[in-house]
Structure formats: C-alpha cells, structure tokens
Amino acid sequence: MTERHGRITGWGMYVPDRVLTNHDLEQMVDTSDEWIVTRTGIRERRITEPGETSSTMSVEAAQRALARADVSPNELDLIIVATSSPDYLTPPVSSMVQDQLGAQRAAAFTLAAGCTGFVYALVTADQFIATGMYDKVLVIGVEHLSMAIDWTDRDTCVLFGDGAGAVVVESSYQPTGVLSAELGSEGKDWDALIVPGGGSARPFREETLAKREQYLRMDGRRVFKFATRAMTDSTLRVVRQSGLSWDDIELIIPHQANARIIDLAVRRLKVDPAKVMVNLDRYGNTSTASIPLALCEAVDQGRIRSGDHIVMVGFGAGLTWAAAVVHWQPEKVDEAPILVEDWPIGERLRQPVTRLRNAMWSAGVIVRSRFQEASTALLLPLYTWQGRRRRRRKQRESKEG
C-alpha cells in the first residue's frame, strides 16, 4: 500500500496598503486606543481601497504562492477559496479567482466555515490529494470584512481587518503536510456571529436595511468562551493524534481574533508563549485570512524552518473550529512511492508510546482547565460585586474631591 500526502510548496499573502489605526477609530466611534489594546491586543488593521475585493486580494496572494512553488496557474487541478465575504453571493468567488489567475484546467469552489475556513480548506485539499483525485491544489483564505462592518458599532468595528493568504499543496509520497486534523461545528450557537440580512432568510428589503441587518453582529462574550475551550481542546487532540510529542511542535498558529483568547489558551496548554505566532496587533481579526497571513509572516521571519511541525487552530462563526498538525517541508524532492509495510519496526513502536504519553498529558490539561472554568464561574458574582463597590467608592470619592 502507498500513501499520498499534500506537501505545502508555496505560500503568499496580500494586505491592502491602507492602515486604519486605533487613533483613527477614536475619531469615528466612542472608543479609545487603551480599550482596544488591553481588551484585544489590536493596534491597527488594513482596510481595502476602492476597487479591491476578495477576488483581487486572492489573486495577489495566490500569484505569490504559485511563484514560490514554481507552479503555473494552468497546472492547477483545484482552487478552494475559503471566505465569508465573497465578491457576490453568486457566482462563487472561486470561479472569478480561477478566471483572473488563468487557471483554465482547475475546478474551483468556495468554502464558508467562518474564521475556521482556511483550516477546513487545507484539510479538504489534503483529502483530494490523499485519494489520488488531484495533484496540485491552491488554497486561499481571504476576507473583505470591512464591507460588512457597521462603522458606527464600536462592539465590532474595532476588531476586523481585510487581507488574503494562500498556499499551494502538491502530492507527495513522503509523510508531510497535514499529519492529523480535526474539523468541528457547534451549530446550536449559529446566531452568536451573524450577518442577519442578505441571505434567503432575510433578503435585502427596505425593512432589513432600515434595521442595519446587512452588517455583522457578534455576541463577543459567547464567542470568547467558546473560542478558549475549542482552541485548547482541539490543539490537544490533534497533537495526540499526530503521534508527535509536544517537544516536536515548533510553532502554534492560532486564529488571530484576540490576544486575550490566545494568552488564555497558551496558559491552559502550558506552552512557551515564544512558540505561538501573534500578528493581530498589525492586522486585527482578518477572519479566515488570519491563519495564512500569520503562517506567511512566520515563514518569512524564519520562525518556521524546513522540517518543523506546526499546529494551526481556528474558531469562528458557525460556531466552528478546526485544528491541524502540519509538517513543513516545502522543498520538492525526487521521490518514489513508499510501502507502509517497509516502515522500520522502531518507528511503528514509537508512535503508540508517544500517543499514550500525550494522552496522559492532555488529560491533565483538560482537568486543570475545567477546574479553572468552574472556579471562575463560582467566583464571578464575587468579582462583579467587588467591581461595583470599587466603582461606587471611586464615584463617591470623585464627588467629594
């Protein structure tokens, strides 16, 4: 038996030139740089110029990825574009990207899985390669959320930014690319992050526009709670499935939504913060573009080197989550099919032992984080009461002063 894997051979990113800082936002809504930085970690984000759309940003990122992989567009078998902000509801933006790239032979589809979309798309590409159906797949994560933001709503407008990232995945007989993965959805919370208008449930009418339903709304606290749990648990599970030890993981690339979500997950996982990629201070939350943007910057900064193992972990609208352990070795090598039966006996024995060790370690982390959640829930009323008392005392003092 021979196995096929998806080697990531090229990567590329694009962000618009226009920078919108927290100080710019202070002029637009009742907010402050201090609030945004302490609550989210974001300092600035990129916003499209007129004429820039999801398809144009995708093409920029894709051309860079294709050049790095030394693959021409007409060699592509498939293009998957992950996004929640396509140029149009119909046609799929993937076909526009296919046209603009000149990838005549390629099949193309658009995948919507909220901010988790890029990891869903990468795993899907890997599966098309593993089955032998395709050899060269382009995966893009792109978001043009600035057009779906209510710029009068301080709850959301300070968070999001625009951009695109792409990778080229090519068939390989070596165990590289996605080594283990998990895709998930918690559909009961579908309304926690939503653009209510414009779909078939509430098509654009005067009434929907009057209620500003064309804009994104988010129950931030509900998403926050889900995100910290999903990120921690799915990272643990994919590392365990991969058969690697935690020492083998060189970098974690989480969805860049909020520095506090990332910090909390890092503390629960007890990983070295230096092993976690964060660039949301400069781009904000670019939804499904955030993981490929962080991946591209990590590679370009030398934080990922050939032979490294990384974890990508995303969460977002749906609510969805996904995680994958990825072996990074972009160089193409002359290779022949490897028979699984030929694997050395030592390697076959090492995997179950490492899996057992990881299982024990992750059970410990889960018990610890459930304990933290329970104790926070118990102490929350006390903290709220203390906070109120402190605020009242301050108000009294300032009146007296």
Smallest gap from Cβ 315 to ligand UT7, in A, equals 6
> Is position 221 an interface residue for ligand UT7 (rule: CB under 6 A)?
yes
157 is catalytic: no
- In the list 220, 241, 271, 281, the residue contacting ligand UT7 (rule: CB under 6 A) is 220
Pick the binder of ligand UT7 from 39, 43, 202, 355 (CB under 6 A).
39
Q: Does 155 bind ligand UT7 (CB under 6 A)?
A: yes
Residue in the shown chain whose Cβ atom is closest to ligand UT7? 220
Decide if 327 is catalytic.
Answer: no
Residues 296 and 275: their CA atoms lie apart, in Å, by 16
| Distance, CA of 290 to CA of 277 (rounded, Å) | 11
Cβ 330 to ligand UT7, closest distance in Å? 28
* Residue 291 CA: distances (Å) to CA of 35, 38, 121, 203, 282: 25, 22, 12, 31, 14
Q: How far is the CB of 152 from ligand UT7 (least distance, A)?
A: 12
Residues 110-129 that bind ligand UT7 (CB under 6 A): 115
Q: Which stretch binds ligand UT7 (CB under 6 A): 34-42, 46-54, 228-236, 344-352?
A: 34-42
343, 358, 268, 347: which is closest to 313 by C-alpha?
Answer: 268
Under rule CB under 6 A, residue 53 binds ligand UT7:
no
Nearer to ligand UT7, 84 or 358 (CB): 84
Of the candidate residues 20, 66, 93, 223, the single one contacting ligand UT7 (CB under 6 A): 223
Q: Which two tokens stand for residue 149?
A: 């933001």
115 given a catalytic annotation: yes
Taking the C-alpha atoms of residue 223 and residue 190, their distance in angstroms, rounded to an integer, is 10
Output the six-digit token pair for 195.
């653009």
Gap between the Cα atoms of 237 and 181, Å rounded: 9
Cβ count within 10 A of residue 389: 10
Residues 278-307 as x/- pattern, contact with ligand UT7 by CB under 6 A: -------x-x--------------------
18: left (phi over 0), alpha (psi -120 to 50) or beta: beta
Q: Characterize 82-114 residue by residue with b for buried, 16 or more Cβ atoms within 10 angstroms of its Cβ, and e for exposed.
A: bbbbbbeeeebbbbbbbebbebeebbbebbbbb
Q: Tokens 């058969």 correspond to what residue?
A: 243
Per CB under 6 A, contacts with ligand UT7 among 326-385 are none
Q: Build a one-symbol-per-residue string for 235-274: x at contacts with ligand UT7 by CB under 6 A, - elsewhere.
A: ----------------------xx--x-------------
Cα–Cα distance measured from residue 159 to residue 130, given in angstroms and rounded to the nearest whole number: 37
3-state secondary structure of 305: coil
Residue (of 322, 326, 324) closest to 183 by Cα position: 322
Residue 400 Cβ, how far from ligand UT7 at the closest point, in Å? 23
Window contacting ligand UT7 (CB under 6 A); options: 219-227, 241-249, 271-279, 371-379: 219-227
CA atoms in the 13 A half-sphere facing the CB of 349: 3
List of residues contacting ligand UT7 (CB under 6 A)? 31, 35, 39-40, 115, 154-155, 158, 193, 220-221, 223-224, 227, 257-258, 261, 285, 287, 316
Residues noted as catalytic: 115, 255, 285
